[in-house]
C-alpha cells in the first residue's frame, strides 16, 4: 500500500493519478489468475482467492442463480484512487480499510429491498434484450460487475469483489472468501474478506457493517472487523471450522471511539453454504 498510496498522494493532478493506476493494473494483471470462477457454485467455483481478481474471472451472482459477471469494469478503481488523492484525512491503513464501506455504498448505491430487482437482474435484462436462446446466453457472457452500479441491488459477492481488488491493488494481502454467515438467527450464504494484519489476520465484512453513532445522534457505518489468530488462519480458509465472534457497535464521543460489545454473536465459515452446527468443537 505504502508505495502506490504515497505516490498517489504526491500527484499534482488527476491525470497523473490515472497514469499511476494504469501502471499498477498492468502489474497486478500479470500476477493474477485468469479463467477461474468465484462465488456461489459448489461444483466449479473457488471458495478462497488470494489477490487481485483478474478481468477475465467470472463471479457467480450472489443469488446463486445462473447469472455470472466479469470483472472487466475498472471505473471504480480510478474513482477510488482519485478519492484517495483528494482526501486529506485518508492517511493510514486503517482509514483505507474503513473508507471502503462508504465508497462501495456510493458506487453500488445503498441496498434496496425490492426482491424483484435484487434477484435475477442479469437474466431478466438479457431475456428482454434477446430473441433466441443462443443470443440469451451470449448476452449473459457480457455481464460486468459495473452493470450493477447505482442500482442498490449489489450483494455480498459484488461488494467483497470490489473491496478485494482495491485492497489488493494497494498492497494488502487479502483473500476473497465464499461460505456462510449466521447473525441474529439468520443464516445465509455469504462472501467476505480475510485480510492480513501486522500480527495475524482479520475477517473484514463490507456487507454486514457495524453501526457507528456520533454524540449528536448521527449514524454511519464501518466494516465489521474481527481478528483470526495466525495459527487459525489455514484451518479457517480450508473450510474446516466455524468461527464464533462477538458482535459490536461503536460510539463516538468528543473525538474518541468506544467499542460496545453486544449480546449477539456472528458465525463465519468458508466453503459449504450451509452453516455447520455452531456448537461443534472449534467454534
Query: For each successive 10 residues of the chain (283 residues), what is the average pLDDT?
Result: 83 96 95 85 74 92 73 96 91 89 94 61 89 91 94 91 96 94 89 93 96 88 94 90 93 86 93 58 42
For 259, residues 6+ apart whose C-beta sits below 8 A from its C-beta are: 248, 249, 250
pLDDT at 279: 44
pLDDT at 113: 62
pLDDT at 255: 74
pLDDT at 211: 92
The residue extents of the domains of the chain are 2-270
pLDDT at 64: 56
Residue among 192, 180, 271 at smallest CA distance from 225: 192
- Grid coordinates representing 108 are 453500488
- What predicted TM-score, i.e. pTM, was given to this entire model? 0.91
pLDDT at 142: 92
Query: To which residue does cell 453513532 refer?
Result: 213
Query: To which residue does cell 463465519 refer?
Result: 268
Residue 101 CB coordination number (10 Å): 23
Contact 247, 205 (CB under 8 A): no
pLDDT at 278: 42
For 102, residues 6+ apart whose C-beta sits below 8 A from its C-beta are: 220, 221
pLDDT at 37: 85
- Grid coordinates representing 43 are 461444483
**DSSP annotation of 61:** -
Amino acid at each position: 500500500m505504502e508505495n502506490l498510496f504515497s505516490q498517489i498522494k504526491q500527484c499534482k493532478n488527476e491525470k497523473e493519478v490515472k497514469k499511476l493506476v494504469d501502471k499498477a493494473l498492468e502489474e497486478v494483471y500479470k500476477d493474477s489468475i485468469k479463467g477461474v470462477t468465484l462465488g456461489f457454485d459448489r461444483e466449479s467455483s473457488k471458495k478462497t482467492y488470494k489477490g487481485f481478481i483478474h478481468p477475465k474471472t467470472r463471479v457467480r451472482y450472489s443469488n446463486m442463480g445462473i447469472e455470472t459477471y466479469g470483472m472487466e469494469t475498472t471505473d471504480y478503481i480510478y474513482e477510488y484512487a482519485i478519492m484517495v488523492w483528494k482526501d486529506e484525512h485518508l492517511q493510514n491503513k486503517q482509514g483505507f480499510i474503513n473508507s471502503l464501506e462508504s465508497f462501495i455504498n456510493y458506487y453500488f448505491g445503498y441496498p434496496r429491498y425490492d426482491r424483484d430487482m435484487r434477484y435475477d437482474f442479469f437474466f431478466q435484462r438479457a431475456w428482454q434484450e434477446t430473441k433466441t436462446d443462443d443470443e440469451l446466453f451470449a448476452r449473459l457472457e457480457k455481464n460486468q460487475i459495473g452493470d450493477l452500479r447505482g442500482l442498490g441491488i449489489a450483494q455480498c459477492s459484488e461488494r467483497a469483489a470490489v473491496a478485494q481488488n482495491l485492497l489488493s491493488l494497494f498492497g494488502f494481502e487479502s483473500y476473497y472468501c465464499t461460505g456462510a454467515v449466521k447473525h441474529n438467527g439468520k443464516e445465509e450464504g455469504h462472501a467476505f474478506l480475510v485480510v492480513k494484519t501486522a500480527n495475524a489476520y482479520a475477517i473484514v465484512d463490507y456487507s454486514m457493517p457495524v453501526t457507528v453513532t456520533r454524540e449528536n445522534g448521527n449514524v454511519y457505518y464501518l466494516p465489521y472487523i474481527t481478528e483470526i489468530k495466525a495459527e487459525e488462519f489455514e484451518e479457517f480458509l480450508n473450510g474446516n471450522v466455524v468461527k464464533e465472534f462477538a458482535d459490536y457497535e461503536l460510539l463516538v464521543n468528543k473525538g474518541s471511539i468506544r467499542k460496545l460489545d453486544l449480546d449477539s454473536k456472528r458465525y463465519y465459515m468458508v466453503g459449504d453454504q450451509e452453516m455447520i452446527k455452531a456448537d461443534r468443537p472449534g467454534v
